[in-house]
A and B are shown apart, each in its own frame.
Chain A
């Protein structure tokens, strides 16, 4: 570094400098993005393996491979790690970090050192979570009291880990809000911003405002476990339902922290591969904000049968239906974008179209759960498990994989094997549906969730679901190998292989350390595809 003048440093690709230390001390948003990406992918694999294990346990009624306690530990690990270490930081911390400065025409985020600090908080939180595995928690990722107070497992360490992870999330959100407000290139007005930026902005607001609540809640839980202060345990005069209110006051907005960035990705991928301007830009942009706002008002729809008043249940049911409206608008607008396009079914587009298809199922099944009478029957059954996986895998993970394949050439400077990517996609898509669609039926038939064992009438659908999990696992494995091989054997990526108009594609692949030699002057919106006179 010392040998280069500043001008030379600017033009060096950000991946150029070697050595672990150069990564761990880098404040370059692109390097931090890659570190996040590797970290969250590692946890995605670990949590995925635990899911394969407990799905194997559910292959047959009775004991298949593990006892009930181990089963409970496995699903707790799966849920807690997927939520707090993969999907919440997920797209925001990895792709958000990489793309926000590039898309708005900035050299970095507003506070680069704080950004690296957020990553270290993530690492510290993750380490604490891993240490808790010496006596792994069996409470489920929801930590419902009073069980989480009475469980003999290491709940304190796990929740403290999540407490630390929360700060990483808050500070990342803060950083992104300031970056989007302050560092947009000249001419990059709010209504010219790529929709991924709008989505990241809405997400950042949620991270900043909602995350402190889970932090406080988990601290109260720790205080109760460690010092016996009665907040939530009725035996000590506490209220277990209060915990659920606190928990979902964060965790429902958190659902949107997880899904809105993926919606942003879809809004970027579809116009490029359909060669069409996004249909209804403003509706999609503002619906992200609308979803973020309404998401603060619907938390208790997780609690219709938990013992709160019937009046509260009714109000929350009504508000829940409101959130469906901006979500529906997005789905219709994405679909309409395809009209008269020139649709190129490359792997990122396949994942994006899968998102629309699967997320539609996830969203529509949410309508069942929002309706009071039906929720009483379906709540805490496999229907809920299927619904949330259609939203989280069918939605967020499909968005994540679309992003991974779409920006891979930009991030790595290499191309992956497109044919293998398509085969992997087919396995993932089929495997996902075979795993989770039967669970809608299981739930409607009355199979409760979080069951280590089940009565024989649920056998065949569980068997099918487990077989699906293997297909899904194979798909993910092939996809990962393909992307890793691309790093070593892939062809060199051109600057703009997919002919996108967005700013990040107007710099070399991989981008130079300072992104732009000269800060661009923006004169048009990002979606000017197609012939204007036509």
Chain B
């Protein structure tokens, strides 16, 4: 069994070193206390009802020893934790900055090339990355176990964190601060690429490959990639939002008492301005995907919904 996640950033091994140090110190104390506890309970167990026991009320020497030794160790642990924390809070000057926005229940990444991605953060291996983060609604927390980094995203302020990815690969991103119904579905990925691949990715060659898919397949791909699946089912079950199964072409009751037939325009409007015509019985929690999804991508999603009969 793996006790800790994969080590995939420069900080991870430093954090693990503190973790193991505390583990060893704790284990020593734990083993001593449990051993003594069990040994005394067996060695001095009551054998007959009127056993006599000595009158011992304490020992200043012992009490002083077991005050000073833990105090000393605790200060060492504090200092060690602090030293590594200071590293974790001090991003290098030449860090690559990426803006992160959290909203219920998706991650939005904006790169300085003007590119944006949803739920997938692309970073080059070996380069310090600084994330400048904000929330559009409630609290969220950016957590990548393999990097040992975590930081809350708070509305009305920017928070930041940094790391240097050390290994190409795909790593899980979790939202670690409870943010409502879709909390456990607010997942993302961090994709660490070699510098060459990253350069290629920055130029956007991959995007073309995506849009060359047939519309319905593109929509299917976006359904999971863009996190639609956090709130919309495709099997008829009710999640945070209405299911997509059998949605197209049917009438739905709206919050204001009117009815609307689900067609291309209604779906498009619901993606770009979700609160404009809200379906009855659902809360206005969906974020706008304006500027996030291209026209081709929206058409792809519409085509995909049409296939779900």
Contacts and interface: CB of A to CB of B under 8 A. Distances in A.
Given A235-B155, A335-B36, A451-B183, A342 B51 contact: yes
A531 B54 CA distance: 5
Interface in A271-293: 274-283
A450 B174 CA distance: 12
Contact of B143 (A276, A277, A325, A446): A446
Contacts of B19: 368, 374, 377, 444
A335 B33 contact: yes
A275 B53 contact: yes
A68 B238 CA distance: 10
A335 B33 CA distance: 8
A390 to B, nearest CB: 12
A333 B63 contact: yes
Given A147-B139, A341-B53, A364 B78 contact: no
A54 B221 CA distance: 32
Interface in B145-167: 145-146, 148-152, 154-157, 159
Contact of A276 (B53, B86, B148, B181): B53
B175 interface: yes
Given A364-B29, A367-B77, A374-B81, A329 B138 contact: no
B37 interface: yes
B44 A281 contact: no
A365 interface: yes
Contacts of B183: 68, 72, 450-452
Interface string B59-91: 100110011001100110110111111101100
Interface stretch (A81-89, A121-129, A219-227, A355-363): A355-363
Contacts of B46: 275, 342-344
A331 B33 contact: yes
Interface in A380-426: 380-381
B40 A376 contact: no
A138 interface: yes
Interface residues of A, number: 97
Given A67-B239, A279-B57, A307-B159, A317 B78 contact: yes
A345 B42 CA distance: 10
B177 interface: yes
A314 B44 contact: no
B18 interface: yes
Nearest to B183: A450
Interface in B255-301: 283
A41 interface: no
A370 interface: yes
B3 A357 contact: no
B132 to A, nearest CB: 13
Given A339-B56, A340-B44, A372-B82, A377 B15 contact: yes
A335 B159 CA distance: 46
Interface of A: 63, 67-69, 72, 138, 140, 144, 146-147, 150-152, 233-235, 237-241, 274-283, 305-307, 310, 313-314, 317-318, 321, 324-325, 328-329, 331-333, 335-336, 338-345, 353, 356-357, 360-361, 364-365, 367-368, 370-377, 379-381, 441, 444-446, 448-455, 527-534
Given A234-B157, A280-B59, 7 more contacts: A72-B181, A280-B57, A306-B154, A360-B33, A367-B74, A380-B141, A446-B143
3 pairs of A and B residues whose beta carbons are closest in the complex:
A446-B145, A234-B156, A371-B81
30 contacts: A68-B239, A72-B178, A72-B181, A144-B138, A144-B139, A144-B177, A147-B178, A150-B137, A233-B155, A283-B58, A305-B141, A307-B151, A329-B66, A332-B33, A335-B40, A338-B44, A340-B44, A344-B46, A357-B34, A360-B30, A371-B80, A373-B83, A373-B88, A379-B176, A380-B143, A446-B146, A448-B143, A529-B53, A532-B55, A533-B55
Interface of B: 1-5, 14-15, 18-19, 22-23, 25-26, 29-30, 33-34, 36-37, 40-41, 44-47, 51-59, 62-63, 66-67, 70-71, 74-75, 77-78, 80-86, 88-89, 137-139, 141, 143, 145-146, 148-152, 154-157, 159, 172, 174-185, 187, 237-240, 283
